[in-house]
Amino acid sequence: MTYIVIAGAGIAGLASAILLTRQGHQVEVFEQVADPTPVGAGLLLQPSGQAMLQSLGLLDAVKAKAAVVHSLEGYTGSWKTLDLHYQFAHEDWYGLGIHRANLHQILWQCALDLGVAIHLGNGISAFSQDAQRVQAQHQQGSLQVDGLVIANGARSLLRDQLCITQTHRPYPWGAYWAVLDKEDWPFPHILLQRYRGAQIMLGILPTGINPATNRTCYSLFWSLPKAEFAEYRQAGMPGLIERIRRVWPEVAEWLAHAPEATIAIAEYADVRLASYHQGRVVVLGDAAHAMSPQLGQGANMALIDATILAQCLANSGAKFDGELNSNSVTAAFAEYSQRRSKHIAYYQTVSRIMTPLYQSNYAIGWLRDLGTVAGRHVPAVYHQYLLTLCGAKQGFLDMRGVIARL
């Protein structure tokens, strides 16, 4: 039996803990926050992430809390520019909009039911390794383990302790988000966006059940440059409502009459690593490849990471006579790093190209709109847009798209 410690009880950490525990490894999760119920808005789970949840046996539980999303539609004025329908990628595919806290709670409960030890308010602060073991230091002591999984999010400081070439670049733009209840919004299955150039973007994502009120809810995303954070904070809710009114008056009214609305600012970063492992340490989720949420892939990629890691550990055990010994952890992590590289590189590159088209001060909104509309009318290009959205592209040269399964 191998002994594995996971740093971080987010999506990547919990999904890994579930899969590795089921494979018979001894797993302990260390989470630095004492109460890890995530604040946050909606996430869009793509067919790629849904397949991973199916492998985890949690897809039905997720669907019970989520909203089915059939399409993504974006408008500049009354001109529909973005028009992506999942069913044109595959007749059975759709997105699932879910509140982050609901997804977290489902993963959390599953890990607890399996008896995973989760240490709260006790983060991993440092580690060292030799050929045999990893020494992981937490806030209350230290442990000698066979492998360390770093899954502690975009701002990971543990990542810095690896001798791996890496960049962490905060984005100059972020977003205001709010979760709003509504039973009678006329677009319960569409992620709708409105644009004014690349400077203004307002999105409404169907988000399923609001865990705070148990009512049907939607997530509002309003893109804003970091340089204006202070100005926005000063103007408060009335200022935000006024800006939104100029773009979408109905949504401004909705926000103005939503006493339950939680509202906050999100910041993003772009993280790149030349490799995802070093010896007995492997990096997953946002700690490995955080990106702007423009493509809606981060949570899905965290779930894929966990699933592929479990596959690699299982393969490695098979190669070593069915019994995973402590040395095969290194081989499994190396295989993981190699297997994840193309998929991650593709989505990071597309995210880097696309993000300024939707969030920047450049006068390129018209170029984006023309390109999106033109691409829509070329079936081969449209199909690639859809495969990208669904999380199915496995690399630049993959034209058919694959949804990986455990």
Ligand X SMILES: Cc1cc2nc3c(=O)[nH]c(=O)nc-3n(C[C@H](O)[C@H](O)[C@H](O)COP(=O)(O)OP(=O)(O)OC[C@H]3O[C@@H](n4cnc5c(N)ncnc54)[C@H](O)[C@@H]3O)c2cc1C
Interface residues with ligand X (CB under 6 A)? 7-13, 30-33, 36, 43-44, 123-124, 151-153, 158, 175, 177, 266, 268, 285-287, 293, 296-300, 302
The span from the CA of 126 to the CA of 159, in Å, is 10
Nearer to ligand X, 114 or 331 (CB): 114
Shortest approach of ligand X to residue 261 CB, angstroms? 15
Nearer to ligand X, 138 or 194 (CB): 138
Nearer to ligand X, 36 or 74 (CB): 36
Q: Is the separation of the CB atoms in 116 and 18 below 8 Å?
A: yes
Shortest approach of ligand X to residue 325 CB, angstroms? 27
Q: Is the separation of the CB atoms in 110 and 59 below 8 Å?
A: no
Nearer to ligand X, 158 or 324 (CB): 158
Q: Is the separation of the CB atoms in 199 and 82 below 8 Å?
A: no
The span from the CA of 276 to the CA of 142, in Å, is 23
- Long-range contacts of 128-137, Cβ-Cβ distance < 8 Å, separation of 24 or more: 129/278, 129/279, 129/280, 129/281, 131/279, 132/326, 133/280, 133/326, 134/5, 134/279, 134/280, 134/281, 136/5, 136/7, 136/30
Nearer to ligand X, 37 or 325 (CB): 37
SS3 386: helix
Spatial CB neighbours of 353, under 8 Å, sequence gap ≥ 6:
none
Nearer to ligand X, 36 or 208 (CB): 36
Shortest approach of ligand X to residue 319 CB, angstroms? 28
- In three-state form (DSSP H/G/I as H, E/B as E, the rest C), the secondary structure along 144-201 is EECEEEECCCCCCCCHHHCCCCEEEEEEEEEEEEEEEECCCCCCCCEEEEEEECCCEE
Shortest approach of ligand X to residue 211 CB, angstroms? 16
Shortest approach of ligand X to residue 228 CB, angstroms? 17
Nearer to ligand X, 9 or 116 (CB): 9
Shortest approach of ligand X to residue 298 CB, angstroms? 2
Shortest approach of ligand X to residue 323 CB, angstroms? 30
The span from the CA of 201 to the CA of 293, in Å, is 13
Nearer to ligand X, 52 or 324 (CB): 52
Q: Tell me how far CA of residue 162 lies from CA of 168, 275, 296, 348, 365, in angstroms.
A: 14, 10, 28, 21, 39
Buried b (16+ CB within 10 A) or exposed e, 163-180: ebebebeebebbbbbbbb
The span from the CA of 203 to the CA of 225, in Å, is 16
Shortest approach of ligand X to residue 305 CB, angstroms? 8
Nearer to ligand X, 10 or 356 (CB): 10
HSE-CB at 240 with a 13 A cutoff on CA atoms is: 26
Q: Is the separation of the CB atoms in 202 and 165 below 8 Å?
A: no
Shortest approach of ligand X to residue 60 CB, angstroms? 19
